[in-house]
Structure 1
Amino acid sequence: MEERNVGRSGLRVSALGLGCNNFGGRLDEAASARVVHAALDHGVSLFDTADIYPMGRGGLSEEYLGRTLGGRRDEAVIATKFGMRPTGGSRAGGGSRRFIVRAVEASLRRLGTDRLDLYQLHIPDPDTPIDETLAALDDLIRAGKILYAGCSNFTGWQIAEAHFIAREIGTQRFVSAQNQWSLTHRRSEAEVLPACRRFGLGFLPFFPLDGGLLTGKYRSGAPIPEGTRMSGDSPHARKFLTAERLATADRLRALAEAGGFGLIDLAFRFLLDEPACCSVIAGASTPEQIARNAQAAEAAVPAELLDRAREITAP
């Protein structure tokens, strides 16, 4: 598995990362463990979770991941997130020193480790000055409790602000930014990706398959396959599988297959072709999905196919 540096930091991660948001939700502990071990066996080193995963039962994802890694802890780069407060959906205070100090201790305990490799602010906190957040994270780096800090769901100007304030107050800066990005959801290209390039942050796209649209499982005019997350009366299907989006996916799949690739190969290579992208964070529910994702992350899709795909989904 290819490894890349996270921005201008010395942290190296696999080109494919495992999103662990379904651990404790759709996946019980045994199923989660099978996925984690399969990921490690395929060379995946980055495991991304959060203190709020799974939604409604926050903390189980970290617990499952920590117990499963066990003696293989040093093979993994653990990236977790903090700052999204579960009670009442309030976002206030998640970036405060008080919240951070309590949150990091809880995550360390649940993960059963003495340090977090990458600690990310899950969402911007409008009620806490970013200098307070950066100073608190800097203290944790100096204490050895976290190695690097990152942000998630930031806009381009918020990334720039954090960079310049870190330089002004003399703290460690964010080394990564995590936002939604895929071949069919390209909003991050407007300002977030340019900010990452300018300020040396590694970009970690989540939802790389756009909620399942780019898996190749779903087609216009065809029934939704049984057993998929979109089957039954799924609210996800109504959101992600509209007629227009399915038509776009059909065109992309035809393009990929004409070149001898799968749609997922095209989707992953589009992301990894971006120099700022250090790892694609993709969830998986089975070892077989891990194997397919790993294959896609290494697919040598030609530049001309990528250019044609970009034309199909141009904003």
Structure 2
Amino acid sequence: MQQRPLGRSGLHVSRLGLGTMTWGRDTDADEAADQLRTYLDAGGNLLDTADVFGDGDSEAVIGALLDGVVDRDELVISTKAGLRPGTPRRHDNSRLHLLRALDASLGRLGTDYVDVWHVHGHDPATPIAETLAALDTAVSSGRVRYAGVSNFNGWQTAQAAAVSPTPLISAQVEYSLLERGVEREVLGACAALGLGLLAWSPLGRGVLTGKYRHGVPSDSRGGSEHLERFVAPYLDKRGAGIVEAVATAADGLGCSPLVVALAWIRDRPGVTAPLIGARTTGQLLGALAVEKVTLPAQIRRALDDVSAVRFGYPERQS
């Protein structure tokens, strides 16, 4: 699998990252181990998690895998902090919470350091200087190798990168054919300030796989009590039109809609890696099939057009 530099850094990561939001909840330890071996065998190295995934269970599963199942040095581990668990979750980017959360993550992961540590969202109640100072402390102490932000909008990303005492190298944001809002300002900020973009939910929360074309399967995220509201925004008329375009392209190329959607986001300008999440190894293998596919320019243009994001003032000025 091809590797790409993450932002303006010497860190290289595979152009497909493996997300672990379901690990410890919908994906048990044995299945997670099988997924990780499959991903590593395919040449991947970027493993993404967060302290709130499964209320820490995802990190704990990874920690168990690092205990004799896989070599720590094979992996670039990315985790996040800044959300407090509970309902509803709330942001807390205070120095106290972030550094406590980091130590707890390291304990669950069973490692002395995290390769990339992301702030999990913007916290308007905490001065950004305090948040960035906590990142700097984490890096200077050796507990974190590189730092980044997640779910920041354009001006928040630019502000953080411009004033951070430790260089930020990455931004994690939702980005797919169904959600292209980051193209208005976040992509430009990342390009100008040297941040690599890691795209979460690159399959539009699963909708771009085509599984919802004829209804909501009971065993899908959209049919889940916990994730129904997460999927619902994309089950609209616009989303249906985009999914049909993806399905048409897949029929023409002889591959799955999943592969078409993933190939589109993987090769978007400014994207370092989409983060693919799978409940099963079979789903992961279906996603890894994208490594054999590059979309023809004509299909890429058609998908660009059908999913185009609206621009206006001040992003575009005549």
Query: Same fold judged by TM-score > 0.5?
Result: yes
Distance 1:48 1:291 in 2: 18
Counterpart residue identity of residue 149, structure 1: A
Shift of 1:192: 0.7
Distance 2:255 2:89 in 1: 44
Counterpart residue identity of residue 103, structure 1: A
Counterpart residue identity of residue 134, structure 2: A
Aligned twin of 2:294: 300
**Aligned-partner SS, 1:89:** coil
Shift of 1:229: 3.0
Aligned twin of 1:134: 132
Aligned twin of 1:217: 211
Equivalent of residue 94 in structure 2, options 93, 96, 102? 96
Superposition map of 1:1-315 within 5 A: 1-54=1-54, 58-71=55-68, 72-87=71-86, 89=88, 91-92=90-91, 94-166=92-164, 171-219=165-213, 222-225=214-217, 227-231=219-223, 235-236=228-229, 238-315=232-309
Greater displacement, 294-303 / 189-198: 294-303
Contact 2:117–2:146 (Cα < 8 Å) also in 1:
yes
Contact 2:221–2:228 (Cα < 8 Å) also in 1:
no
Shift of 1:224: 4.2
Of all paired residues, the percent bearing the same amino acid is: 39
**Structure 1 residue ranges (4+ consecutive) displaced by more than 6 angstroms after TM superposition:** none
Contact 1:182–1:210 (Cα < 8 Å) also in 2:
yes
Counterpart residue identity of residue 44, structure 1: G
Counterpart residue identity of residue 193, structure 1: L
Aligned residues: 305
Shift of 1:298: 4.4
Cα distance 1:193–1:74, how it changes in 2: closer, same or farther (>3 A)? Answer: same
In the TM superposition, what whole-angstrom CA distance separates every residue of 1:188-228 from its partner, at most 9, and x where no partner exists? 11111111111110001111010111113332xx3445643
Cα distance 1:268–1:88, how it changes in 2: closer, same or farther (>3 A)? Answer: closer
Greater displacement, 232-241 / 154-163: 232-241
Shift of 1:239: 3.8
Cα distance 1:79–1:306, how it changes in 2: closer, same or farther (>3 A)? Answer: same
**Aligned-partner SS, 1:279:** strand
In the TM superposition, what whole-angstrom CA distance separates every residue of 1:77-110 from its partner, at most 9, and x where no partner exists? 1100000012453535x22211122111111110
Distance 1:232 1:106 in 2: 29
Cα distance 1:246–1:39, how it changes in 2: closer, same or farther (>3 A)? Answer: same
**Aligned-partner SS, 1:211:** helix
Q: TM-score under structure 2 normalisation?
A: 0.89
Contact 1:256–1:305 (Cα < 8 Å) also in 2:
no
In the TM superposition, what whole-angstrom CA distance separates every residue of 1:161-205 from its partner, at most 9, and x where no partner exists? 112212xxxx21221001111012111111111111111100011
Shift of 1:275: 3.3
Distance 1:19 1:177 in 2: 15
Shift of 1:155: 0.7
Shift of 1:268: 1.5
Distance 2:89 2:239 in 1: 32
Distance 1:78 1:232 in 2: 28
Shift of 1:289: 1.6
In the TM superposition, what whole-angstrom CA distance separates every residue of 1:36-85 from its partner, at most 9, and x where no partner exists? 2222222221111111112xxx1111000111133421111110000001
Contact 1:181–1:206 (Cα < 8 Å) also in 2:
yes
Contact 2:208–2:261 (Cα < 8 Å) also in 1:
yes
Counterpart residue identity of residue 221, structure 2: R
Cα distance 1:186–1:133, how it changes in 2: closer, same or farther (>3 A)? Answer: same
Greater displacement, 197-206 / 289-298: 289-298
Tell me, which stretches of 5 or more residues in structure 1 are unaligned? none
Counterpart residue identity of residue 125, structure 2: D
Cα distance 1:235–1:164, how it changes in 2: closer, same or farther (>3 A)? Answer: closer
Contact 1:193–1:276 (Cα < 8 Å) also in 2:
yes
Counterpart residue identity of residue 264, structure 2: F
